[in-house]
Structure 1
Amino acid sequence: MREKILNAAAEMFLTYGFKSVTMDDIAHKIGVSKKTIYANYSTKTKLVQATGNHLLNTISKGIEDIRNQELDPVIENFEIKRFVNQHLKGEKTSPHFQLKKYYPKIYENLHNSQFKVLQDCVSENIRRGIELGYYRKDLNLQFITRIHFIGMLGIKDKDIFPIEEYDEAALMSEFLEYHLRAICTEKGLKILDDYIHKNEK
């Protein structure tokens, strides 16, 4: 039951936002009483915390599975992007910034955990890419991982990128291409351009 609640809560929070979704809404969604929800999560805050951790764990596991496939480092970025988009699709109400505004402690904990996941993922991807000649040898790993993380957060800012003007999935594609063109060698750029020509356009 807890997993059923978490899955429903995650879908609704991402679609409608953390503020507007109520425990009644979630109970109605899965066809149980509100008492059942409260029996598993005594407050909405605890459910938000559990849902955030659930989403982070799901995405982290998916990223790990992709990394274990030992794909070409350039292509690996696109596979991770595709996976993340699938799990965060429908993000039209800026749940990221609603979480920051209404549940700041939960946001801070998840923010720190997200950075650790991304830091590990990006750093290892760049190391492999350098070894294989796809990425430049002079890259500053610490800088690249941090600027990448800041950029990923930045494209979620609906004040800078209003929903009416920008599609978040398209923004992520643009940002990823921007990131890769900044670090790729000619060899890497060839793979990038071929992939974009076949899949992204």
Structure 2
Amino acid sequence: MVDKVILEEAEKLFLKFGMRSVTMDDIAKHLGMSKKTIYAHYKDKNQLVMEMISNTLSKEECNMDLCRVKAKDAIEEIFLTMDFLKEMISSLNPIVFYDLEKYHNEAYKLLMSFHENRIYNCVKACLERGINEKIFRADINPDILATARTAQINWVFQADLVRSGRYSMYNVIHELTTHFLFGICTLSGHVLINNYTNRNNPI
């Protein structure tokens, strides 16, 4: 129970300030406990970061599965996934991904591996679903587009326009997703995009 509380509170600090600027002293002070207690559960900050990323990816995987099951069609699946993403990264400091890559490389590799495998498979399955539902064009290649989409998502995590604070991560992903969707949809798919957009943004 104590280890869970430590991890949850450390995660709040990491996501708000980044990993590099948060020390074990900061975490102990925030929790109102000694560093000795923290070290009894976690050997160092790197382990805390690794646990945080592992837990985040587990939640992300569960939510992707939930979006797929809940959605009436492939386009709604993407809209539901975007809703989940917006909630997940709303309070995220973009410096987190720079810190991950530079100071916690094993955790960063875990994140990238998840994208290149789990997200690729999820995107490919969604594309195949949309083709079968006749809302995505029959002439698209799911393997090529899933690979490109995964690379696109990975690029957002590294993009200077996000890390600099020029645009939020969600705004960039939303813009790219809209462009991606209109490029692969049939005319009936375009109608669904507009319907789901209007549902999410009522006048």
What is the TM-score normalised by the length of structure 2?
0.89
- Which residue does the alignment assign to 2:17? 16
Residue 194 in structure 1 maps to residue 195 in structure 2: yes
Gaps of 5+ in 1: none
Do the aligned partners of residues 166 and 110 (structure 1) sit closer, same or farther apart at CA in structure 2, a change above 3 Å counting?
closer
Aligned mates of 1:37, 1:56 — CA distance in 2: 23
Superposed structure 1 runs of 4+ greater than 3 Å apart: 160-164
Contact 2:94 2:163 in 1 (8 A): no
Aligned equivalents of 1:49, 1:8: Cα separation in 2: 15
Residue 71 and residue 10 in structure 1: after superposition, are their counterparts in 2 closer, same or farther (change >3 A)? farther
Match of 2:184 in 1: 183
SS of corresponding position for 1:32: coil
Q: Is the 8 A contact 2:11 2:52 kept in 1?
A: yes
Instruction: Say if 2:67 and 2:77, in contact at 8 Å, map to a contact too.
Output: yes
Number of the residue aligned with 2:172: 171
- Give the partner amino acid of 2:135: Y
Identical amino acids, percent of aligned pairs: 27
User: Which residue does 2:105 correspond to in 1?
Assistant: 104
* Deviation for aligned residue 1:130: 0.6
The question of whether the paired residues in 1 share the 8 Å contact of 2:19 and 2:96 is answered with yes
Q: Does 1:86 align with 2:87?
A: yes
Aligned residue number for residue 41 of structure 1: 42
Residue segments in structure 2 that go unaligned for 5+ positions in a row: none
**How many residue pairs get matched?**
201
SS in 1 for 2:198: helix
Distance (Å, rounded) in 1 between the aligned partners of 2:136 and 2:172 = 23
Give the Å deviation of 1:157. 3.2
Give the distance between the partners of 2:10 and 2:17, measured in 1 at CA: 10
- How far did 1:70 drift? 4.0
2-structure distance, mates of 1:162, 1:39: 34
**Contact persistence 1:130–1:137 (CA under 8 A):** yes
Aligned-residue offset at 1:200:
4.2
Q: Indicate if the aligned counterparts of 1:97 and 1:157 stay in contact, CA closer than 8 A.
A: yes
Tell me how far 1:123 sits from its aligned partner: 1.2
Cα deviation for residue 182 of structure 1 reads 1.4
Q: Which moved more, 1:154-163 or 1:36-45?
A: 154-163
For 1:11, give the aligned amino acid.
K
Shift, 1:171, TM fit:
1.7
Q: Tell me what 1:54 maps to.
A: 55
CA distance in 1, matches of 2:151, 2:24: 32
Q: CA deviation at 1:54?
A: 1.0
Per-residue displacement from partner, 1:142-198 (whole Å, max 9, x unpaired)? 211121112112223352345443122222211111111111111111100222233
| Counterpart residue type for residue 149 of structure 2 | H
In structure 2, C-alpha distance between the alignment counterparts of 1:149 and 1:8, rounded to whole Å: 30
Describe the SS at the equivalent of 2:158: coil
Q: Is the 8 A contact 2:79 2:196 kept in 1?
A: no
Asked whether 1:6 is paired with 2:17, we answer no
| Secondary structure at the counterpart of residue 56 of structure 1 | helix
Residue 40 of structure 1: CA displacement?
Answer: 0.8
User: Equivalent residue of 2:157, what SS?
Assistant: coil
Give the secondary-structure state (helix, strand or coil) at the position aligned to 2:140: coil
